[in-house]
Chain A
Amino acid sequence: SQTIHQWPATLVQPVGSPLSLECTVEGTSNPNLYWYRQAAGRGLQLLFYSVGIGQISSEVPQNLSASRPQDRQFILSSKKLLLSDSGFYLCAWSVPPAYEQYFGPGTRLTVT
């Protein structure tokens, strides 16, 4: 069966510090991978998605970036965090032709 891991689970970082969040998927090959941010426990904002190694599409211009160095690894990064980067970050995967996405447990990021 497939599983998805995210770490860390929680993170408190000062403004201006770097960020690296990691997501890995097990039990499947060639998944589509997604990074979402959820603010205030409500709506989902798609940040990045990837259909293959090294292929990243950005949905929202911001100071975040994403990379996919391996087939089942997706990394969200920032060189300098802003207060507005605080939120709940969710990684998800799907395997075409299915559209349903499966989510990881999330990372709660607080920028102070």
Chain B
Amino acid sequence: AQSVAQPEDQVNVAEGNPLTVKCTYSVSGNPYLFWYVQYPNRGLQFLLKYITGDNLVKGSYGFEAEFNKSQTSFHLKKPSALVSDSALYFCAVRVKDSNYQLIWGAGTKLIIKP
């Protein structure tokens, strides 16, 4: 069965420090992986995706994600956190052989403290 896991319910980081939000996946075939951010009472915003190619993917707002096939992970990273990065982050993976459906992680709340 295909699945995606975000093992941390919440991540706390001091402003200016690097941040990592973890995501692991289980899929058959080549994974298509995505990261989204959600601010309170707003819709989700697409940050970045990995389809193929370079394992380090750069996205919006200075975020990047590293695809690691051997560890089946796709962790979201940022070198220097901002208070405004505080939000809910979702990892997603495509459902193979589907009508373009995504399977979503449970979400990780990121809190950046000044």
Interface residues of A (CB under 8 A from B): 32, 41-44, 46, 49, 51, 57, 88, 90, 92, 94, 96, 99-106, 108
Contact = CB atoms under 8 A, between A and B. Distances in A.
A74 to B, nearest CB: 14
When A and B form their complex, which 4 residue pairs have the shortest distance between CB atoms, in order from nearest? A103-B43, A103-B44, A44-B104, A99-B94
A102 B32 CA distance: 16
Contacts of A96: 100
Interface in B17-51: 32, 34, 36, 40-46, 49
Nearest to A90: B43
B100 A90 contact: no
Contacts of B90: 44
Interface string B88-107: 10100010000111101011
Contact of A51 (B42, B44, B99, B106): B99
Contacts of B101: 46, 49
21 contacts: A41-B40, A42-B88, A42-B106, A42-B107, A43-B107, A46-B101, A49-B101, A51-B99, A51-B100, A90-B43, A92-B43, A92-B44, A99-B49, A99-B94, A99-B100, A100-B46, A103-B36, A103-B44, A103-B45, A104-B43, A106-B43
Interface residues of B, number: 21
Contacts of A49: 99, 101
Nearest to A97: B100
Nearest to B103: A46
Q: Considering residues B34, B43, B44, which has the most beta carbons from chain A within 10 angstroms of its beta carbon?
A: B43
B102 A99 contact: yes
Contact of A106 (B34, B42, B104): B42
A28 B22 CA distance: 33
A98 B36 CA distance: 15
A4 to B, nearest CB: 8
Contacts of B94: 99
